[in-house]
Chain A
Amino acid sequence: MTRENITIYTPRPATIKRIEQMTENEKLFEIALDDNMPLGHNPGQFVEVSIMGIGEAPISISSPPTKTDGFELCVRAVGNVTKAMHAMNVGDKLGIRGPFGNGFNTSMLKGRDLLFICGGLGFAPMRSLINYVLAYRRDYGEVAILYGCKRPCDLLFADEVRRWKSMDGILDHHLTVDEVCEGESWEHDIGVITTLIPKTKFDPETTYALVCGPPVMYRYVIKSLKERGMPDDHIIVSLERRMKCGLGKCGHCQINSTYVCQDGPVFVYSEIKDLQEAL
């Protein structure tokens, strides 16, 4: 038996710097690599988070690359790894592999008008891009943001999102929830996210829509955008799939011959609209 010390499956040690309870089921983790290197990611990329003894899970990065003293992951407690993460404390160690995937093409988007459409936890990766665009605001055209979640208490990054509402340089901004329960206050829209699209200010000829949300959302959002006259190659989606390796080997994220972990998770709709099983 001989051992070799280089493998692509070895996570880098990292430390939890800050934990913020965002909603009942979601926490924000600020994490720094122990070698103090910046993660070096693009908005829309993801990392594989390891909790030794529990496993590994792909999590999209919520912070923009402009933040270099660590990165943020917005995590819903839903699987083994994410539940274990929720039980962790500041100072605890975990493993990081990545960043993986293509991320959003920030140079291609330069000079374009942008319409962000986020549903639920789909806001997590989108927040990275929105903050990136806001940091380089003059490089981009008009910005509109639509964000929907189930209930007012599910709103992620609520303070930040509300701040955008009154921010200069954001043309239009709508929030919506599926329902408001008794005792909850909500001064914004109620209804599924597609109800916001007809009333949002954007020019379909010059605007690129960036869409991320639960799997069921895409078909309806794309239909609404097309009804407004948006061309297929202006619609950019970020897709979720099961992943194990993040390296195009394990086969789990495959949509036909496309590997979401490598070719995605960000796709231009015109390139995948004929790809069966994609949406």
Chain B
Amino acid sequence: MRVIKKEDFKEFVNLLIGDDTKEVVGVKAKGGKFVYDELSSADELRLDFDVTVLSPKKYFMPPVETLLRYDLSSDFKVEPVNEVTPLIIIGIHPYDLIALQQLETVFRDTYPDANHLLKLERSILIGTNMQNVSPHSFAASMGTATTRYGYDLMLTDIGDSYYIEIGSDRGEDLLERYARVSKPDKTHEQRFESVINGIESKFQKALNFPPEELPSILARTYDSKLWAEKAEKCLSCGSCNLVCPTCYCFDVQDVTELNLRRGERIRTWDGCLLEDFAKVATGENFREDRASRYRHRFMRKGKFLYERFGFIACVGCGRCASGCLPDIADPVEIYNTLKEEAL
């Protein structure tokens, strides 16, 4: 554990920005919302954010990512591509850190995906405990409002300083090289404890039951009328998929340059709510109606991936709830209603 005075923290961030070995990314205000973006000065950093529009997933699974480069002017010329920009990301809330851990598990499973894993390996994650909470978030009830793992450093605002938990040697090394820190004294420890203990009370929304019950609740509500009722309004736009920190489905396409010689095979974010998601070339669509696609997403988050990987793939960030135009995507509302139905 360390403590850093706020003015020293600014200097720390500015030193990181000044060092060229890694690009420094942090939470910035943009158009009344918060986003992760490259920092040009510590003054831009807003650690008081409630939630960002997109999660830091975008750095480890970019919306558009080159997998291969090909050259059509010779017989068969294909070059694997794994473009990695080493990052220091400052200001990741615990639920997003847990989401990144889940993605790592998925991409490490059976066939390790170097395009994802190398980006993660080369980056330093600096978390921050929540000062403000989005009105849609229910992370506390998902057990994701705080975390003891998944970060290199974790910051907690304790007034005139940040309390720093060290999660890795890399994190410790970073502090040693760039930061003026001290050991926390008793007052710091007390302030830290009180901040952590106060986080849960900031949430306006909560799951009414322990998240471990979700898989069995969903097993009993597969045929619920709720799916069709809600999906009636679904625009099949996939916004819930795009803002989700744990959605990782992707499409793969070849994009050839206008010279028709060189091109790239890219992967792009895909979404299971989109109409064509399960459609094959013959026209058969294995999830043709909106209700089955809508249900699939909630089932996947609360049951399917749990069965495969052992985690509930919803971290309670509430981004889907705020991103859904017809307002049918709020997992808390769906899951709490299903809990009642499953009784």
Contacts and interface: CB of A to CB of B under 8 A. Distances in A.
Contact of B292 (A1, A52, A257, A277): A277
B252 A53 contact: no
B277 to A, nearest CB: 7
A79 B280 CA distance: 9
Interface SS majority for chain B:
mixed
A141 interface: no
Given A52-B263, A257-B307, A7 B80 contact: yes
Interface SS majority for chain A:
loop
Interface string B68-81: 10101001101011
A57 B252 CA distance: 10
A247 B252 contact: no
B270 A250 contact: yes
Contact of B263 (A53, A214, A245): A53
Nearest to A94: B76
Interface in A1-41: 1-11, 13, 34
Contacts of A9: 67-68, 80, 115, 252, 265, 267
Contacts of A79: 281
B76 A13 contact: yes
Nearest to A10: B80
A251 interface: yes
A7 B76 contact: no
Contacts of B292: 277
A250 B78 contact: no
A67 B112 CA distance: 30
Q: Which of B75, B107, B253, B265 has the most CB of A within 10 A?
A: B265
Given A8-B112, A95-B76, A244 B250 contact: yes
A8 B82 contact: no
A58 B118 CA distance: 27
Given A7-B80, A53-B263, A248 B222 contact: no
Nearest to B251: A244
Contacts of A240: 280, 284
Contacts of A82: 281
Nearest to B278: A242
Given A9-B67, A9-B265, A52-B265, A277 B287 contact: yes
Interface residues of B, number: 57
Interface residues of A, number: 47
Given A215-B284, A250-B250, A8 B111 contact: yes
A159 to B, nearest CB: 26
Contacts of B44: none
A237 B104 CA distance: 33
A247 B249 CA distance: 12
B124 to A, nearest CB: 16
Interface in B202-230: 222
B120 to A, nearest CB: 13
A249 B249 CA distance: 7
A248 B76 contact: no
B110 A56 contact: no
Contact of B304 (A8, A78, A254): A254
Given A56-B252, A214-B282, A249-B248, 17 more contacts: A1-B83, A3-B81, A4-B80, A4-B82, A4-B84, A7-B80, A8-B114, A10-B68, A13-B78, A52-B254, A53-B263, A93-B76, A242-B278, A244-B251, A244-B252, A252-B249, A277-B292
Interface of A: 1-11, 13, 34, 50, 52-57, 78-80, 82, 93-95, 214-215, 240-242, 244-245, 247-252, 254-257, 262, 276-277
Interface of B: 67-68, 70, 72, 75-76, 78, 80-85, 106-107, 109-115, 118, 222, 248-254, 256, 260, 263, 265, 267, 270, 272, 277-282, 284, 286-287, 292, 296, 299-300, 303-308
